[in-house]
Amino acid sequence: MQTMFLYNWNVREDWYRWCEEINEDELLLVRTGGVGGILHTLFHIIDVEWSWIRILQGKPDFEESFDGYKSLNQVRALDDKFHEEVEEFVRNWDDDMELNVLEETMPDGRIVIDTWGEVMRHVIAHEIHHIGQLSVWAREIGKKPVSANLIGRGLVPISKTDK
């Protein structure tokens, strides 16, 4: 589980660096698909990751809109602010938590049951999916996207592979 989060954080950092080279108008331009823009997507990824981690802990989640975060610096600052709590939860993740149950009541009264393991994987897949959208938009503005490769990032310490 942790490796996939490390992958997402690593790729996200690469995208922040990629954004530094792009005109802010391009980062804010409303585009087709997803949540409709590059910076908005990064904001959305941060928001969703943090919100689910908060929900699993029974804490209130984030309610702000993208309107207050329309610059790369503001989005990165929000990420920095949330990351500590997210990282701590992920670092302390244990396989014993897999089948913990999250029970939520939907607006229509239905009760939905997800396991914590499903929620964590949902968060992982959510980010990768949205990053895939960024890769199309990058090409639309004539730029090479960040690599989506998981191998080659040194996510598993080489010492562990040396056996």
Q: Which residues bind its own copies (CB under 8 A)?
A: 3-4, 7, 32-34, 99, 101, 112-115, 117-119, 121-122, 124-126, 128-133, 135-140, 145, 148-152, 155-156, 158, 160-163
**Residue 130, annotated as binding a ligand:** yes
Which has the closest alpha carbon to 90: 121, 63, 60, 47? 121
Structural tokens at position 38 = 């590059």
The whole-angstrom separation of Cα 70 and Cα 61 is 20
How far, in Å, CA of 59 to CA of 135, rounded? 33
Residue 4 CB, nearest distance to its own copies (Å)? 6
Tell me whether residue 65 or residue 151 sits nearer to its own copies (CB atom): 151
Give φ, ψ of 56 to 5 degrees.
-60, -30
Report in angstroms how near the CB of residue 99 gets to its own copies at its nearest.
6
Cβ atoms of residues 101 and 113 within 8 Å: yes
User: Which of residues 81 and 121 has its CB atom nearest to its own copies in the complex?
Assistant: 121
Binding residues for a divalent metal cation, by number, are 44, 126, 130
